[in-house]
A and B are shown apart, each in its own frame.
Chain A
Amino acid sequence: MISHVEAGPASAGTATAGLAPAVAATGVTKRFAGGVVANDHVSFEARSGEVHALLGENGAGKTTLCNILTGLYHPDEGEIQVNGSPVRLHSPHEAQRFGIFMVHQHLSLVDSLTVAENVVLGWSRHGGLRYSPRQVEAEIAEIAARYHMQVDPHARIWQLSLGERQRIDILKALYRDARILILDEPTTVLTPAETEQLFASIRELVAAGRSVVFISHKLPEVLAVANRITILRKGRSVTTVDAAGVDARELARLMVGHDMPAGRVRRAVAGGATPVVEERGVLELDRVCADGDFGMQVLHEVSLSVRPGEIVGIAGVAGNGQRELAEVIAGLRPHTRGTIRVDGAELRGGDPRAAINRGVAYVPEDRMGTGVSPSLSVTENLMLKSYRRDAPHAGPMLLMDRADAQSRALMEQFDIRSRGPHALVRQLSGGNVQKVVLARELSSQPRVLVAASPTRGLDVGATEYVHGVLVDSARRGVGILLISEDLDEIVELSDRIAVLYEGRVVGIVDAAAASYEQLGMMMAGAA
Chain B
Amino acid sequence: MNVDLIVAVIVSAIAYGTPLVLAGLGELLAERSGVLNLGVEGMMLMGAVTGFFVSQQLGGPGWVVLIIAMIMAAAAGALMALIHAFLSITVRVNQIVSGLALTIFAGMAGLSSYAGQVWGIGGQHGVHQLTRVDLFGLGEIPVIGPILFDQDPFVYLSWGLVALVAWYLYRTRTGLYLRAVGESPRSADAMGINVTRYRYVHTIVGGALAGLGGAYFTLAIAPIWTDGLTAGSGWIAIALVIFAFWRPDLLLLGAYLFGALSSLGFTLQAHGVQMPSEFFSSLPYLMTVVVLAGASTTLARRRIGTPASLGVPYVREEG
Binding site for B on A (CB under 8 A): 32-33, 72-73, 91-93, 96, 102, 104, 108-113, 117, 120-124, 128-132, 293-294
**Neighbouring B residues of A294 by C-beta, 8 Å:** 302
Closest 6 CB pairs of A and B: A93-B192, A122-B191, A108-B187, A108-B190, A110-B184, A110-B183
Q: Is B256's CB within 8 Å of the partner chain A?
A: no
- The answer to whether A111 touches B183 (Cβ under 8 A) is yes
Q: Is B199's CB within 8 Å of the partner chain A?
A: no
- The answer to whether B308 touches A121 (Cβ under 8 A) is no
Q: Is B87's CB within 8 Å of the partner chain A?
A: no
Interface residues on B, range: 20 to 34
- The answer to whether B305 touches A112 (Cβ under 8 A) is yes
> Out of B171, B186, B193, B318, which one reaches A121, CB within 8 Å?
B193
Known: A92-B192, A113-B176, A130-B173. 8 other contacts (CB 8 A): A73-B318, A93-B192, A96-B192, A108-B184, A110-B183, A113-B179, A120-B176, A121-B177
CA distance A248 to B318 in the complex (A): 34
Q: List 13 A-B contacts (CB under 8 A).
A: A92-B191, A96-B192, A102-B190, A108-B191, A109-B184, A110-B184, A110-B187, A111-B183, A112-B183, A122-B177, A123-B191, A130-B173, A131-B171
CA distance A38 to B7 in the complex (A): 70
CB distance from B254 to the nearest CB of A (A): 21
Question: Secondary structure at chain B's binding surface: helix, strand, loop or mixed?
Answer: helix
CB distance from B21 to the nearest CB of A (A): 24
CB distance from B127 to the nearest CB of A (A): 40
Question: Secondary structure at chain A's binding surface: helix, strand, loop or mixed?
Answer: loop
8 Å CB interface, B178-205 against A:
179-180, 183-184, 186-193
1/0 per residue, CB under 8 A from A, across B288-319: the answer is 00000000000000100100100000000011
CA distance A123 to B177 in the complex (A): 10
- The answer to whether A131 touches B173 (Cβ under 8 A) is yes
**Neighbouring A residues of B176 by C-beta, 8 Å:** 113, 117, 120-121, 131
**Neighbouring A residues of B172 by C-beta, 8 Å:** 129-131
- The answer to whether B171 touches A32 (Cβ under 8 A) is no
CA distance A124 to B177 in the complex (A): 12
CA distance A108 to B317 in the complex (A): 14
**Neighbouring A residues of B186 by C-beta, 8 Å:** 108
**Neighbouring B residues of A130 by C-beta, 8 Å:** 171-173
CA distance A337 to B199 in the complex (A): 47
CB distance from A76 to the nearest CB of B (A): 11
CB distance from B94 to the nearest CB of A (A): 17
- The answer to whether B192 touches A91 (Cβ under 8 A) is yes
8 Å CB interface, B71-114 against A:
none
Q: Known: A33-B319, A113-B183. Contact between A121 and B174, CB under 8 A?
A: no
- The answer to whether B308 touches A112 (Cβ under 8 A) is yes
CA distance A73 to B308 in the complex (A): 26
CA distance A85 to B186 in the complex (A): 30
1/0 per residue, CB under 8 A from A, across B204-236: the answer is 000000000000000000000000000000000
